[in-house]
Structure 1
């Protein structure tokens, strides 16, 4: 049992906050930015996800996002996503995700804050128009009714998080009894500060990641396994209590 040591503490966890990243979605077949899957047609994905790249070549960036979106739409939530959703039967659960794929919501999670936006949303680069993508665009890059270029409503490297979403994330982290950091190395700011807010409430920190991260030494418990394998076992503790 990966979580055997927590058996007697389960009743203390009234509010559980998950911080999730690309690792949990990778288990559903969605490539991560970093590592060998991070290249797209010989372009570095981390360099494509910037406002400069978009203005340099909006057509190329839109091609990449259209391909990513089709990959995401064909993906299904894995056992990690499903376990987080099931946990709502036993505790107050909030998901603070760096992912833009909507798989937590697909799995049934009802309280999800998307820190980095959503791949199914668009906004204008100039006016305040924003919406969900209903159909594929006939032109590339797509244009707003005002005549300016539309862009994916996601947070690119170097951009600020949506302020309202970030403020809610801090509040939830501050109120948590337990924070589980799943499938993320937490190298991206400001999401990597969320465990600090949880600690201010004396929350327990658990890391679920097959690999050691820069944050591992700050954790109370580290589980060296994937979310899809570890999180269903964590939920089973609640069923037996």
Structure 2
């Protein structure tokens, strides 16, 4: 019944915004962060995904992100990503805001995507911000311009979100008639504030819905791809 209701809401909404998290990518074979089998149960993020690790323990920082980049070579967007891209092409979805850094939404065909935590597919120098090639990062090369340290263009713990993307998403959420939050634990500030910024209807779709604290108009528990495939639209 909930899936049918969501289908009705999607058809009647003139402005729908999607917010996705790590759970959107787990079905592509990318580990999430906070589930039992997630990254952070094996690696403390405070020792790896920080500016301190970048500057003080680059070997560990580099190994972690090199492994993550190489994991993407063996993974691809799943049908759920393609469904969201199709909805955008049909005018059903106006924007996808994602916490994911894997670029799968764009690879699946979504055009209007804001990456709130950056992209692991692009590399820059931490010192001078010069763009660099991903292969240079993989082989632990220095910045060709200033000799500085290369890093993925992702938001590390303690860093601010990209302000342009955050502003675009926040304004889109405020105007939205319907907001779908998909595959995120809603534990990370400030993204977890987004569902409360809209006056429209809100929907939460996740494999585990027991932890959410934000009130939603509709909650659907299940595998992301399977839920999206079942929506009658």
TM-score for both structures, normalised by structure 2 = 0.90
Change (3 A) 1:95 1:26: same
Change (3 A) 1:177 1:64: same
Change (3 A) 1:231 1:93: farther
Q: CA RMSD in A?
A: 2.1
- Please name the residue that 2:218 is paired with: 221
Q: Answer yes or no: is the 8 Å Cα contact 1:216–1:222 preserved in 2.
A: no
SS at match of 1:3: helix
Runs of 4+ in structure 1 deviating by more than 6 angstroms, as ranges, are none
- Please name the residue that 1:14 is paired with: 14
Q: Answer yes or no: is the 8 Å Cα contact 1:173–1:179 preserved in 2.
A: yes
The farther-off stretch of 9-18 and 135-144 is 135-144
- Please name the residue that 2:4 is paired with: 4
Change (3 A) 1:86 1:13: same
CA distance in 2, matches of 1:227, 1:209: 6
Gapped regions of structure 1 (runs ≥ 5): none
- Please name the residue that 2:229 is paired with: 232
Gapped regions of structure 2 (runs ≥ 5): none
Q: Answer yes or no: is the 8 Å Cα contact 2:10–2:178 preserved in 1.
A: no
- Please name the residue that 2:128 is paired with: 127
Q: Give a deviation string over 1:131-179, Cα, whole Å, max 9, x none.
A: 5x35354742533411111211100111100111111111111111111
Q: Give a deviation string over 1:96-138, Cα, whole Å, max 9, x none.
A: 000000011111111110000000111222213135x353547
Change (3 A) 1:205 1:47: farther
CA distance in 1, matches of 2:27, 2:105: 13
Instruction: State yes or no: 1:203 paired with 2:204.
Output: no
Alpha-carbon shift at residue 80 of structure 1 (Å):
1.5
TM-score for both structures, normalised by structure 1 = 0.87
Q: Answer yes or no: is the 8 Å Cα contact 1:102–1:118 preserved in 2.
A: yes
CA distance in 1, matches of 2:156, 2:61: 12
Q: Answer yes or no: is the 8 Å Cα contact 1:124–1:144 preserved in 2.
A: no
CA distance in 1, matches of 2:47, 2:134: 27
Q: Give a deviation string over 1:46-78, Cα, whole Å, max 9, x none.
A: 531111122121122112111111111221111
Alpha-carbon shift at residue 215 of structure 1 (Å):
3.3
